[in-house]
Amino acid sequence: MTPELDVYPGAFPHRPPPDLDSTGLLVDHDWRAFTAVEKMTNHWARPGWSEGHRAYYWMLTFPNATDLLRRAKRCQDELAHLGMDPVPEDGLHVTMIRIGSTDMVSIDQVRLLADLAQQLPLTTFQVVAHPLAGSRGAVRFTLAPWSPLVCLHIALSEIGQHAGVPGGKPTVAFRPHLGVQYSNRERPAAPVIESVALLRTLEPVTLEISSVELVELWRTTGTSPAYRWRVVRSVPMRPQPGPVLSDRQQG
């Protein structure tokens, strides 16, 4: 599978980076896009998320990534004066692809999709979370490289088509990211960008991706809105094959 992205008006940034594996280019591309934002939006004012709405998604989750949790908390504390909604430590995630709302996807389709995913030749990989950039509705880590994430998106999209689920945005629109906090109102972007810029020298965090989760997702409301989920199936990835040893090395 060759990762291919394209310009997509509904994505942020709408134009993909020139290289999916160059850390420097990915970090610079995300930052340039964020600094071009003039007004931030209310992340929670999104179409399709009515009261009680639930949907199935493929996601990467990080319940045991201590370094990531520590780095995210540091960023949230430094940005607390902005009054945005922090992502709780058990809510950090990378959205891979929407499967469909629970009223449009049957239990049999969910089982088939999970079984198909377990048959995929998925292998573990690493991505690095780089502080810090953002979008029109959130502050987020830049992830690098993108290629393994895009390849995973392609594979999950293909089995979704096979299972006949509604699906989400096409792979050409995929822009991997890891949110830290969400904008909860319309606001000028400049103060947010200025505050985020002070955190860009923090050390990046390496993440080991060894599984992908099929989840049922919903949103909580009230004073601390957040995305919450239950894991329907966790699909493990195979370890990367090690180097082949010669007879002399083995002996």
Domain boundaries defined on the chain: 23-236
User: How far, in Å, CA of 144 to CA of 25, rounded?
Assistant: 10
CATH class of 23-236: alpha beta
Q: Is the peptide bond before 13 cis (omega within 30 degrees of 0)?
A: yes
pLDDT tens-place string over residues 37-71: 999 999 999 887 887 899 999 999 999 999 999 99
pLDDT digits (tens, 9 = 90+) for 162-203: 999 999 999 999 999 999 999 999 999 999 999 999 999 999
Radius of gyration (C-alpha) of the chain in whole angstroms? 19
Q: What pLDDT score was predicted for residue 246? A: 47
DSSP track, 103-120: TTS-HHHHHHHHHHHHTS
Burial string for 171-210 (b: 16+ CB within 10 Å, else e) reads: bebbbbbbbbbbbbeebebeebbebbeebeeeebbebebb
**Predicted structure pTM score:** 0.92
What would you measure as the largest C-alpha separation in the chain, in angstroms? 66
For residue 210, the model assigns a pLDDT of 97
Q: What is the pLDDT of residues 138-163, one digit of tens each?
A: 999 999 999 999 999 999 999 999 99
